[in-house]
A and B are shown apart, each in its own frame.
Chain A
Amino acid sequence: MRTKLVLTAAAAALMTAGAAKAEDLTLCWAAWDPANALVELSKDFEAQSGNKMHFEFVPWPNFADRMLNELNSGGKLCDLMIGDSQWIGGAAENGQYLKLNDFFDANGIKMDDFIPATVTGYAEWPKNTPNYWALPAFGDVVGWTYRKDWFSRPEIQKEFKEKYGRDLGVPANLDELTQIAQFFQGREIDGKKVYGAAIYTERGSEGITMGVTNWLYNYGFEYQNPEKPYDLQGFVNSPDAAKGLEAYKVLYDTATPPGASDWYMSQDIDAYKSGQVALQMNFAFIWPGVNTDPNVGGDKTGYFANPPGPKGHFAQLGGQGISVVANSDHQEAALAYIKWFAQPEVQKKWWAMGGYSALRAVVEDPGFATSQPYAQTFLDSMAIVKDFWAEPSYASLLQAMQKRVHDYVVAGNGTAQEALDGLVKDWTEVFQDEGKL
Chain B
Amino acid sequence: MTNPALGRLAKATPPGLAHRLRGLSDRTIAWIFVAPTIFLLLAINIFPLIWTIRLSFTNFRVNRPNEAVKWVGLQNYSRILNDADIWATMTNTAHFLFWTLFFQILIGFALAWLINRKFKGNDLWTTIIVLPMMLSPAVVGNFWTFLYQPQIGLFNYAVAFVTGADPASFSMIADVRLAPWALIIVDTWMWTPFVMLICLAGLRSIPESIYEAAECDRASPWRQFWTLTIPMVLPFLMLAVLFRGIENFKMFDLVVQLTGGGPGDTTLLTSINLKREAFEKWRTGYASAYAVILFVTIYGLASIYVKALNRVKQR
Contacts and interface: CB of A to CB of B under 8 A. Distances in A.
A94 B260 contact: no
Contacts of A258: 150-151, 168-169, 171, 174
A203 B264 CA distance: 7
B137 interface: no
Interface stretch (A109-117, A152-160, A407-415): A407-415
A95 interface: yes
A58 interface: no
B171 A259 contact: yes
Contacts, number: 97
Contacts of A73: 62
B281 A410 contact: no
Contact of B262 (A69, A94, A396, A406): A406
Interface string B96-114: 0000000000000000000
Contacts of A202: 260
B287 to A, nearest CB: 12
A291 B220 CA distance: 74
A262 B173 contact: yes
* Most chain B CB atoms below 10 A, which of A396, A399, A407, A411: A411
Contact of A72 (B63, B262, B264, B276): B63
Interface string A68-105: 11011110000000000000001001110000000000
Given A203-B260, A262-B174, A72 B266 contact: no
Contact of A395 (B169, B173, B264, B281): B281
B281 A399 contact: yes
Nearest to A408: B264
A258 B261 CA distance: 19
Contact-size category for B: 20 to 34
* Most chain B CB atoms below 10 A, which of A258, A259, A406: A259
Given A262-B174, A395-B282, A413 B259 contact: no
Contact of B66 (A71, A95, A203, A259): A95
A410 B276 contact: no
Contact of B263 (A71, A276, A399, A411): A411
B173 A69 contact: no
B4 interface: no
B265 A410 contact: no
Interface string A366-397: 00000000000000000000000000110110
Nearest to A208: B262
Given A261-B262, A261-B263, A413-B264, A94 B66 contact: yes
Interface in A388-437: 392-393, 395-396, 399, 403, 406-408, 410-413
Contacts of A410: 174, 262-264
A296 B222 CA distance: 65
Given A90-B63, A257-B151, A406-B262, A396 B281 contact: yes
Interface string A207-244: 00000000000000000000000000000000000000
* Most chain B CB atoms below 10 A, which of A71, A72, A202: A72
A59 interface: no
A411 B280 contact: no
Contact of B259 (A69, A203, A396, A399): A203
B150 A259 contact: yes
Contact of A406 (B85, B153, B263): B263
B280 A94 contact: no
The secondary-structure label for the interface of chain A is: loop
Contacts of B261: 203-204
Contact of A403 (B150, B171, B265): B265
Contact of B174 (A71, A90, A93, A259): A259
Nearest to B283: A396
Contact of B63 (A94, A260, A407): A94
A65 interface: yes
A408 B264 CA distance: 7
A73 B63 CA distance: 8
B175 to A, nearest CB: 8
Contact of A261 (B153, B171, B256): B171
B280 A399 contact: yes
B279 interface: yes
B63 A68 contact: yes
Given A259-B149, A261-B171, A94 B64 contact: yes
B280 A65 contact: yes
Interface string A49-75: 000000000000000110011011110
B280 A395 contact: yes
A258 B151 CA distance: 7
B279 A65 contact: yes
Contacts of B176: 411-413
A68 B169 CA distance: 40
Nearest to A65: B279
A67 to B, nearest CB: 12
A17 B283 CA distance: 43
Contacts of B173: 259, 261-262
Nearest to A186: B168
Interface string B59-89: 0001111100000000000000000010000
A357 to B, nearest CB: 31
B266 A411 contact: yes
Contacts of A413: 176, 264
A395 to B, nearest CB: 5
A392 B266 CA distance: 28
B148 interface: yes
B263 A94 contact: no
Given A203-B261, A413-B264, A72 B174 contact: no
Contacts of B65: 74, 94-95
Nearest to B261: A203
Contacts of B149: 259
A74 B63 CA distance: 10
A428 to B, nearest CB: 15
A293 to B, nearest CB: 20
B263 A203 contact: yes
Query: Would you list the 3 A-B pairs with minimal beta carbon distance, nearest first?
Result: A261-B174, A411-B264, A204-B260
Given A65-B279, A203-B259, A396-B281, 14 more contacts: A72-B63, A203-B260, A203-B263, A204-B256, A257-B151, A258-B151, A258-B171, A259-B150, A259-B153, A392-B63, A399-B280, A403-B265, A407-B263, A410-B263
26 contacts: A68-B63, A68-B282, A69-B279, A94-B63, A94-B65, A203-B259, A203-B260, A204-B262, A257-B150, A257-B151, A258-B168, A261-B263, A276-B151, A393-B281, A396-B281, A396-B283, A399-B280, A403-B85, A406-B264, A408-B264, A410-B174, A411-B176, A411-B262, A411-B264, A411-B265, A411-B266
Interface of B: 62-66, 85, 148-151, 153, 168-169, 171, 173-174, 176, 256, 259-266, 276, 279-283
